[in-house]
Amino acid sequence: MKIGIIVFSKTNNTFSVADELKSALVKKGLDAEIQRIVPENDDPGVKPPIVFTSKPDVTPYDVVIFASPVWAFSLAGVMKEYLEQVSSLEGKRVFSFVTKQLASKFTGGTKANRQIKSVVELKGGRVEKSFIVSWKNKKRDEEIANLIAEICKAV
């Protein structure tokens, strides 16, 4: 089973969680790798169409994990545009997680995961589990540990 962690991360917060997840999956004996989404312009206000300098192909993966920050209470526009350009996700196991600064509820984490789910379903896939990591939450390390444990258990 080949696992692709497809990550967009401007500040490396999201990437750091993806890297911990990858290490845990590899330690479990699984074939996991991180592929970064890299736009020419990673400004939060950038409008479509977004030009990518690195746009990972999901085709080789049996399991795909999408990881993105929350920007302005919503899924980062870069990830949204990338997902809309992804080929079919039919037959693939899909997971997602988002990172956000604010610890309080109603600051976009749930909405961002719903946005990922919506596009994944349009591409013929189904998100099995989704997670939120709140960067300023005192329980952030627990959120990360739970995300890693749940995904490792599921795959």
What was the pLDDT predicted at 44?
87
Residue 100's DSSP bridge partners are 134
DSSP β-ladder status, 93-100 and 2-7: unpaired
pLDDT at 41: 92
Give the residue ranges of the chain where pLDDT is below 50: none
Instruction: Provide the pLDDT for residue 104.
Output: 77
User: Kind and range of the H or E element at 126?
Assistant: strand 126-134
Give domain limits for the chain. Answer: 2-154
**Whole-prediction pTM value?**
0.96
Distance, in Å, from the CA atom of 101 to the CA atom of 132, rounded to the nearest integer, reads 11
pLDDT of residue 148: 99
Q: What is the pLDDT of residue 61?
A: 98
Q: Does domain 2-154 have CATH number 3.40.50.360?
A: yes
Dihedral of alpha carbons 145, 3, 19, 95, sign: negative
Q: Is the dihedral of CA 51, 54, 58, 60 positive or negative?
A: positive
| pLDDT tens per residue, range 103-117 | 777 788 999 999 999
**Model pLDDT, residue 107:** 86
